[in-house]
Amino acid sequence: MASGTHRSSAWSRLRDHLHTTQLLGGIHSTLYFDQNTAMPAAAGSWRGEQLALLAQQLHERQSSAAYADLLAEAQAELPAEAPPERHHNLRLLQRELRRQSSLDAALVGQLAQAQAEGYGRWQQAKAQADFQLFAPALERLIQLRLEQARQLQPVECQADGAPRSPWEILAQPFEPEISKAQLAQLLLPLGESLPPLLERARSLPPGSTAAWDLGEAQQGQLCDQLLHDWGYDPQRCGKARSPHPFSCTLGPDDFRITTRVVAGQPFSAFLATAHEWGHSLYEQGLPRSGEHWFPWPLGEATSMAVHESQSLFYENRLARSHALAERWYPRFHQALGRDVWGSGQAFWRDLNPIRAGLTRVEADEVSYGLHVLLRYRLELALLEQGMPVAELPEAWNRGMQELLGLRPTNDAEGCLQDVHWSEGLFGYFPSYALGHLISAQLSASLERELGPIEVLLERGEDAQLGQWLRQRVYPLGRSVDAGGLVQRVSGQPLSSAPFLDYLEAKLERLAAG
């Protein structure tokens, strides 16, 4: 009895420690959500201090000698026959301890302040389409991130023991075990495979017969209908507007999403809502009950690529499907007050324009990977190849011309369009493209078990698709990495082949009468 009590004591105290860390993390996320949705611009400096203070406190909780001692005590008390989940949780916690202990607390605070300042400067620069207003903040963020990579270098190595590059180190929090070698196999070939598909799409029949748009209120109503159809629970979920759509979890029963209305792009808010709701559903479905999950690391998302695969599943495989186009065609017709399509097939084509565009978040499934490839190349140039920040706008414009045949007319259309670099989130973008690959491979597995997604949607069995994800994907949490999850669910290693096969088939259907 005494032995059991002692053994559970360290584990219980560790759980309490992690619970409090999650509370502080939730406060940090709440301030971040407010910063992006409601905070007045003049509050930016004070918010930066608030976020810096919280970041330093969170860092202290995950790197202090007392915390290291607590982990060691829990490890010493853990019997060999303990559930494997406990051992796995400790390994994940110890790895994060090594990372956090390698970082200087002052750097953590400086990064938080630089992120807050960077976000404010990015908003101003984007509004005025003037990169020079943002350039100093970006230079500062690059300096700090490179210093972060330098401090983490001693504890970051690949599976074979080889050191990771600065970009690879910064990418680890988003995509554990990712390497430039893996991306050379999975991402870089898309630069050769996608342009021919994009060229083929130029001959697709048009969707609408006339230009059209919807007011902000009408778009909001359609988004609300979509969320209602897909199980939105106002008791646990909240929605807002932001300059850049995102999903954010503030607590175990507090899930937020945002969207935006873009003039002249009446599908933008609708598809962004589907995308962010896919993210939120994944968060809502992560394992949060039981002794091995929340607040333990095993209850967290597998990786950002897996996260993206879930948002892309809802946006592309569901919201852009032919079956849902037939379902939503009369609703958009009614909201618009006139029919500019004439058929569900034409509405479906309008919902799936396959053509090169300037903006990543509005990109179709074919061109999206090329947008990511551009950003990946530029991050390597900025972080590892010595490209000056001042050269970024022109490098961006050249890359857009090379990959997509387009050239932005101003910085807002170009290198200022994404929020990520304003927060120094280098290493994030490839997760988007990997998400497309994962989504396609998981969808192929789902269809082998349940039948074609289109048929299930035609029958109104949307819930069955969500149930499959809740059973096969969501519960895995961080028990595997992205590659392990794909291998476990599909029985095959991650590949671009299912994604390219899907695109080929979709282009054929869009071209049909």
At 151-165, the pLDDT tens digits run: 999 999 887 788 999
**Pick from 159, 209, 155, 149: which is nearest to 179 by CA?**
159
Cα–Cα distance between 193 and 179 in angstroms, integer? 21
Tokens of 400: 């857009």
How does strand 254-259 pair with strand 237-241?
Answer: parallel
Cβ contact 138:421 at 8 Å: yes
Residues 80-110 pLDDT 10s: 899 999 999 999 999 999 999 999 999 999 9
DSSP 41: G
Name the β-bridge partners of 256: 238, 248
User: Which domains are delineated in the chain?
Assistant: 2-155 (no CATH), 190-511 (1.10.1370.30)
| DSSP string over 403-426 | HHS---SSTTTTTTS-SGGGGT-T
- Cite the beta strand spans of 197-280 per DSSP E: 237-241, 247-251, 254-259
| DSSP string over 99-152 | HHHHS-HHHHHHHHHHHHHHHHHHHHHHHHT-GGGTHHHHHHHHHHHHHHHHHH
Cα–Cα distance between 248 and 422 in angstroms, integer? 18
- Looking at residue 513, what is its pLDDT? 60
CA angle centred on 230, ends 300 and 456, rounded to 5°: 105
- Looking at residue 3, what is its pLDDT? 43
- Looking at residue 7, what is its pLDDT? 47
Catalytic residue among 117, 156, 168, 276: 276
Q: Which residues, at least 6 apart from 17, have a Cβ–Cβ distance to it below 8 Å? A: 61, 67, 70
- Looking at residue 6, what is its pLDDT? 43
Backbone angles phi, psi at 157, to 5 degrees: -145, 160
Question: How far from 53 is each of 30, 36, 46, CA to CA, in Å?
Answer: 14, 19, 11
- Calculate the dihedral angle through the C-alpha atoms of 496, 497, 500, 504, rounding to the nearest 10 degrees: 180
Cα–Cα distance between 184 and 316 in angstroms, integer? 25
Q: Which residues, at least 6 apart from 126, have a Cβ–Cβ distance to it below 8 Å? A: 134, 243, 411, 412, 416, 417
Which residues of the chain, if any, have pLDDT below 50?
A: 1-7
Concerning whether 308 is annotated as a catalytic residue, the answer is: no
CB atoms closer than 10 angstroms to residue 448? 10
